[in-house]
Amino acid sequence: MVNAATIFGILLIGNGLYGYMGSEAKSVTAFIPAFFGIAILLCGFGSALNEKLRKHLMHFSALVALLGALAAGGRLIPSLGKEDAKSFVQVNLAIMTALCIGYLIACVRSFRAARKRREETAAAN
């Protein structure tokens, strides 16, 4: 999961930079995906450094991804039906939503596999 957190964190940071650099009106809100990416990236680095905190940091990073998906998706869905919607903003929101959902799916799969390993180890003992 450390590798997944690093990859998705960097991708979200890139999404934030893309949103800021590609926008005509430079706004700090374009960096919102980068803020989520930094949080996920820091959780990944922290879990690589501290074995005892790994479980907590990875669960926190999954929460950050869930909040990111809800925030971006919550802004994206209502804007889809509007005639004056900005397609650049919609694309940026769609990218953030997809990245957060993708990371969240990877987290759930990893958590389930870890639980299965723990159960198998407990059954073997």
Query: What is the per-residue pLDDT across 11-27, written as a single tens digit (0 to 9) for each?
Result: 999 999 998 998 887 88
Residue 23 and residue 88: Cα distance in Å, rounded? Answer: 8
For the ranges 8-17, 80-89, 114-123, which has the lowest average pLDDT?
A: 80-89
- Residue among 68, 67, 63 nearest 94 (CA): 68
pLDDT at 85: 62
pLDDT at 84: 66
For the ranges 58-62, 76-80, 84-88, 104-108, which has the lowest average pLDDT?
A: 84-88
CB 5 within 8 A of CB 100: no
Mean model confidence pLDDT for the chain:
90
Q: Which residue has the tokens 């922290």?
A: 46
Q: Whole-model pTM?
A: 0.87
Residue 43 and residue 75: Cα distance in Å, rounded? Answer: 25
